[in-house]
A and B are shown apart, each in its own frame.
Chain A
Amino acid sequence: MNLQRIRMAPPRYWLVGVVVLFLIGFPTVISSFLASEWAQALILAIAIMGLNILVGYSGQLSLGHGAFMALGAYISAILAHHYKVDYLLTIPIAGLATGLVGFLFGIPALRLSPLYLALATFALAVVTPSLIKRPAGLTGGVQGIGVVQPDPPGAVSNIFSTITGTAMTSDQWIYYVSLFCALVLFWVAWNIVRHRPGRAMRAIRDGEVAAAASGVNVRGFKTLAFGLSAFYGGVAGSLYGLSTGFVSPDTFPVSLSIQLLVGAVVGGLASIPGPLAGAIFAYFLPIESSQWVPNQSWIPAQIAATVKNAGPAVSYGVILIVIMIFAPNGLVGLARSGYSLLNRRLRGATDRETGQMPPDPQTV
């Protein structure tokens, strides 16, 4: 029975399995430094998934999700630094507390039109760093708070060193913690969007009045989406502090919120694999443009230095515009239409005979 279910599983399940196995095995063959970069990409993926639930599924535009990450990161750092709580224990606490704040934030947000909500959250993102600096006794002011990176526990470390022959570093351990959180939260998101809350959110996104008329609790699900989304942001922020080893006001500039939005849009709104693809893209684009470009000897040093500073912003901007105009469903949308095109080519005749219409493209 079970075996048959596995054999009958659609190809995308196989793809998920391959990706998960890859993400688990990957750090055993790359350097500890690269593992820490990939950990940050995964953390970004969690935050982008949160944004995706809010923007992609419930249709509420937040441009200030970096603020939720900042909140989560500071809750964890303060608990660990001032109250000596084990950092790993602070991750769910930070997530829940940020989720509660997001839920409360979602209540006044109900009164705002999408445009006004975008405006208010954008202002929040711009103001966040100066808000953090003020209670300097608690937040450490401009300097921020250092986070002690934990050593991997013995059992995990032993397995790792048997496989790779080298001891596990704390960066690699943090990678696995992030991967664990990402897998759980992606699984949760997948379950939410397939079931009642997800259907309700999409109904609200596509027509609030119609959804209300069909008995959907519009206010409830909109605030729920905000709370959930902030929960993801809080967990991501907490992990972010862990992986960078410190939190400071400059860790959460407005460009972080833009980076999250780029990831959500590039990956594909209202999809589950989208945030992962988008996060990898949004995280590695600035890194590669600042590492690959300066290493090319044919590029004059001064230009390389400027590209290092301005390159990510320019390419982010161009990519946001181009994707919104030409491929509003992002990378996942492109992959899906490519796959269905391929499928149609392969058995075009049968499809034409059945007269099946291609599925409607999802609107943003």
Chain B
Amino acid sequence: MQEFLQQLVGGLAIGGIFASLALALVLIYNAMGLVNFAQGEMAMLATFVAYALVSQGMSYWIAFPVTLVLAFAGGIGVQRLVIKPVERAPILTLVIITLGLATLVNGLAGFIWGYVPRSFPSPFSSESVDLVGVFVSYRDLGVIAVSGIVLLAVYLLLQRTTVGLTLRAAAHHPEASRLLGVHVSWMLALGWGLASAVGAVSGIMVAPILLLEPNMMQSIIIYAFAAAVLGGIESPPGAVVGGLIVGVTINLAGAYLPFVGGDLQLAVGLAIIIGVLILKPNGLFGRAAVRRV
């Protein structure tokens, strides 16, 4: 039982990381009906930026927000430069462009930093604390806390501020928003910036666990897809719940299903994606899709 609870907490911690990346996917999906295949790679690049800052001697807790600001700016830059020219193009074109972006960013990181895995600092010690009989590492608790704060911040931004209201309006009713004076195109850019920053959090949180290298996010993005699909790809709270469920599921499956073990955890992610898409394509929190003829 104790080991089970420990696996559960570990799953929640990794699930918080998936939730951040899934939330980034949801933000862009809501803004323009597109799944950004480059989201994981953008997060990886941001993590490398954080790494560079920290190894320049900057303190972790300064490098963290600086990286998020840079990721935000980078997200806006990507939207302006690459996505804006094809905003109205068919979905196939957009998906191929984000894949190109993923390949490009991955190669760029390899070009600058190489493919040797690096250890990334974690501000939390890996020692464990006894929480009513369950040993939980400070690192897991820290990851849960940081993810929780970020998700709460995004929620407050979207639901309680004017910027959030404008963002949501631009996403749901672009035409009406434009008539009301909302700069829809820049709101899309803002959405990309926000998604990029939220995704960066997941990269920075996962890097101490996985070691930092250009292909670090390749498996994480699959779990984030699974989380977003499970929660319903247009629902921010769904992304969070989905992320936690996926995190706990793969942790428990890895620990208790001998057939799965460590190397087929990714296949569990794939199974979740395919299972949800076939059985309940709208996910847990999504609305049923209505097709206009």
A122 vs B35: C-alpha distance when bound (angstroms): 12
Complex partner residue of B222 from A123, A309, A364, CB under 8 angstroms: A123
Please tell me if the beta carbons of A313 and B99 are within 8 angstroms of each other in the complex: no
Q: Which residue of B lies closest to A322 (CB)?
A: B100
Instruction: Check B289–A113 contact: CB distance below 8 A.
Output: yes
Query: What mask results when residues 116 to 130 of chain A are scored 1 for a CB within 8 Å of chain B, else 0?
Result: 101110111011001
Q: Given A134-B263, A324-B97 in contact, is the A317-B102 Cβ separation under 8 Å?
A: yes
Contact with B along A299-314 (1 / 0, CB 8 A): 0000000110111111
Report Cα–Cα, A172/B215, bound state, in Å.
36
- Does A118 lie within 8 Å of B35, measured CB to CB? yes
B229 touches A116 (CB 8 A): yes
The stretch of B5-13, B236-244, B266-274 that contacts the partner chain: B266-274
Q: Mark B89-119, 1 if CB is under 8 A from A, else 0.
A: 1111101110111111111101100110000
Known: A314-B111, A317-B107. A324 touches B281 (CB 8 A): no
A133 interface residue (CB < 8 Å to B): yes
Which residues of A lie under 8 Å from residue B114 when comparing CB positions? 306, 309
B96 to chain A, nearest CB (A): 5
Contact present for B107 and A116 (CB under 8 Å): no
- Asked if A112 is an interface residue, CB under 8 A from chain B, the answer is yes
Q: How many A-B residue pairs lie within 8 Å, measured between CB atoms?
A: 147
Closest chain A residue, CB of each to CB of B293: A209
Tell me the smallest distance from the CB of B94 to a CB of chain A, in Å. 8
Q: Would A108 and B278 count as touching, CB distance under 8 A?
A: yes
Which residues of B sit under 8 angstroms from A321, Cβ to Cβ? Answer: 82, 97, 100-101, 104
**0/1 interface trace, chain A 99-124, chain B, CB 8 Å (1 if under):** 00000000010011111101110111
Contact status A325-B225, CB under 8 Å: no
B113 to chain A minimum Cβ distance, whole angstroms, is: 10
Bound CA–CA A259/B270 (angstroms): 21
**A261 interface hit (Cβ, 8 Å):** yes
Indicate the member of A108, A119, A131, A134 with the most B CB atoms within 10 Å. A119
The CA-CA distance from A315 to B110 in the complex, in Å, is 13
Task: Decide yes or no: A316 and B222 within 8 Å by CB, A115-B34, A126-B266, A364-B90 being known contacts.
Answer: no
Question: CB < 8 Å: which of B92, B103, B107, B281 contacts A364?
Answer: B92
Q: Does A42 touch B at the CB level, under 8 Å? A: no
B125 at the interface (CB under 8 A from A): no
* A130-B91 CB under 8 A given contacts A309-B110, A318-B104: no
Q: Residue A55 at the B interface, CB < 8 A?
A: yes
Q: How far is the CA of A276 from the CA of B107 in the complex (A)?
A: 25
B277 part of interface (Cβ distance < 8 Å) = yes
B96 touching A320 by the CB < 8 A rule? Answer: yes
Residues on the B chain within 8 Å of A333, using CB: none
Q: Of B89, B93, B106, which is within 8 A of A313 by CB?
A: B106
B107 close to A311 (CB less than 8 A): yes
Selected from A320, A325, A363, the residue in CB contact (under 8 A) with B103 is A320
Asked if B128 is at the interface of the complex by the 8 Å CB criterion, the answer is: no
B229 neighbours in A (Cβ, 8 Å): 116, 119
CB neighbours (8 Å) of A315 from chain B are 107
If the complex has contacts A123-B273, A258-B99, A320-B100, are A363 and B90 also in contact, measured as CB distance less than 8 A?
yes
CA A307 to CA B108, docked complex, whole Å: 10
Residues of chain B from 49 to 105 with CB closer than 8 A to chain A in the complex? 82, 85-86, 89-93, 95-97, 99-105
Tell me if B92 and A130 are in contact (CB < 8 A): no
Chain A interfacial residues counted at CB < 8 A = 49
Contacts of B100 in A (CB 8 A): 316-321, 324
Residues of B within 8 A of A124 (CB): 270
B232 to chain A, nearest CB (A): 12
Measured in the bound complex, the distance between the Cα atoms of B102 and A315 in whole Å is: 12
Docked complex Cα distance between A209 and B293 (Å): 7
In chain A, what residue has the closest Cβ to B102?
A317
Most buried by A among B35, B82, B104: B104
User: Is B120 an interface position by the 8 A CB rule?
Assistant: no
Asked if A277 is at the interface (CB within 8 A of a chain B CB), the reply is no
> Looking at the complex, which one of A119, A133, A307 makes contact with B111 (CB distance below 8 Å)?
A307
Does B159 sit within 8 A of A, measured CB to CB?
Answer: no
Q: Does A63 contact B (CB under 8 A)?
A: yes
Asked if A59 CB lies within 8 Å of chain B CBs, one says yes
A254 an interface residue at 8 Å Cβ cutoff? yes
Query: Please, which residues of chain A bring their CB within 8 A of the CB of B176?
Result: none
Contact A59 B92 (CB under 8 A): yes
Partner of A119, one of B35, B96, B291: B35
List chain B residues, Cβ under 8 A from A126: 218-219, 222, 266, 270
Q: Which one of A111, A134, A254 lies within 8 Å of B264 (CB-CB)?
A: A134
Would you call B110 and A112 a contact (CB within 8 A)?
no
B37 contacts A by Cβ under 8 Å: yes
Q: Which of A120, A122, A325 contacts B97 (CB 8 A)?
A: A325
- Distance of A315 Cα from B97 Cα, bound (Å): 13
- Chain B residues 17 to 52 lying within 8 A of chain A, measured CB to CB, are 33-35, 37
Q: Is the CB of B92 within 8 A of A127?
A: no
Q: Are B273 and A63 in contact (CB under 8 A)?
A: no
Chain B 251-293 interface residues, beta-carbon cutoff 8 Å to A: 263-264, 266-267, 269-270, 273-274, 277-278, 281, 289, 291, 293
- Interfacial residues, chain B to chain A (CB-CB below 8 A): 33-35, 37, 82, 85-86, 89-93, 95-97, 99-108, 110-111, 114-115, 218-219, 222, 225-226, 229, 263-264, 266-267, 269-270, 273-274, 277-278, 281, 289, 291, 293
The 7 A-B residue pairs with the shortest CB-CB distance in the complex, in nearest-first order: A317-B104, A313-B107, A320-B100, A310-B111, A314-B107, A317-B103, A310-B110
Which residues of A are at the interface with B, using a C-beta cutoff of 8 A? 55, 59, 61, 63, 108, 111-116, 118-120, 122-124, 126-127, 130-131, 133-134, 209, 254-255, 258, 261, 265, 306-307, 309-321, 324-325, 328, 363-364
List 13 other contacts, CB 8 Å, given A61-B96, A111-B278: A112-B281, A114-B92, A115-B33, A118-B37, A120-B270, A123-B274, A127-B270, A255-B103, A261-B96, A310-B108, A310-B110, A320-B99, A321-B101
